[in-house]
Amino acid sequence: MKLSILMPVYNEFTTVTSAMKEVLSVDFPCEIELVVVDDGSTDGTRDLYHSFESDPRVSIHLHERNQGKGAAIRTAAAVAAGDYLIMCDADLEYSPAQIPSLLTPVLTGDAEVVYGTRTFGSHNSYSYLYVLGNKAVTTFANVLFNCYITDLETCFKLIPAPLYRELRVKETGFGVEAEVTGKLLRRGIRPFEMPISYKARRREAGKKLTWHDGVEAMWILLRERFITRHG
């Protein structure tokens, strides 16, 4: 088994080097590759990639202009050579050291798709409204698809590469999370959930998600449940 870790990056000058080093230092139970897609960074982030050029596990791909997280993941998924894919943001909110725990139910044959689900508390949540919005979107999905998942918006989604490509994800922004989950649930695929830790950063530190993205996620879930017929 080979795992492709997809890292979309946009203006993460202060964190991307640490994030990449953390991924590469993890003791994985399988072969890995780190596929980085820089989505048009303009803050000097692009000057940092040269230090990873000699590592055969790393490939860097550049978008000439900012297109959105979903577009960056699409580019990464298209060139990934792994049997499985997982997204890993470059903002250090998620710890790459937890990825091996998500691989366990796959390697033991107990799961096909695994989500790393977050438990929010006062020490790791930057705002009540953010947590409330995440719970609202997740509850909305549970009602629409008559299922029970606990964290739709988690970045850590471990999915077989062929299955991910079959989903034909079109969203170019943060809506990619809702589209992927909606398409999986519509197919009757219920993610196997594993607990992970999480450390949210504040808006001042570069948090990009807003309430607009929550509203968009609900529309995407409705679309995937009642309108879209293929994918």
Of 1, 25, 24, nearest in space to 108 by CA: 1
Average pLDDT over residues 83-100: 96
CA separation for the pair 148, 31 (Å, rounded): 32
Contact assessment for residue 83 and residue 1, using Cβ atoms and an 8 Å cutoff = yes
For the stretch 30-59, pLDDT in tens is: 999 999 999 999 999 999 999 999 999 999
Of 79, 106, 108, 68, nearest in space to 5 by CA: 79
pLDDT of residue 206: 46
Count the neighbouring beta carbons within 10 Å of the beta carbon of residue 229: 6
Q: Is the pLDDT of residue 230 over 90?
A: no
CA separation for the pair 23, 108 (Å, rounded): 23
Of 85, 107, 95, nearest in space to 29 by CA: 107
Q: Is the pLDDT of residue 202 over 60?
A: no
CA separation for the pair 91, 146 (Å, rounded): 33
Contact assessment for residue 208 and residue 201, using Cβ atoms and an 8 Å cutoff = no
Q: Is the pLDDT of residue 205 over 60?
A: no
Supply 196's token pair: 């992970």
For the stretch 114-166, pLDDT in tens is: 999 998 766 656 677 778 888 999 999 999 999 999 999 999 999 999 999 99
CA separation for the pair 128, 44 (Å, rounded): 32
How much of the chain exceeds pLDDT 70, in percent? 91
* Residues near 205 by beta carbon (within 8 Å), at least 6 away in sequence: none
Alpha helices in 59-157 (DSSP H): 69-79, 99-107, 128-145
DSSP annotation of 98: G
CA separation for the pair 44, 39 (Å, rounded): 13
User: Measured between alpha carbons, how far is residue 169 from residues 94, 112, 126, 166, 172 in Å?
Assistant: 23, 18, 29, 8, 9
CA separation for the pair 207, 7 (Å, rounded): 16
Q: Is the pLDDT of residue 16 over 50?
A: yes
CA atoms within 13 A on the CB side of 126: 15
For the stretch 52-64, pLDDT in tens is: 999 999 999 999 9
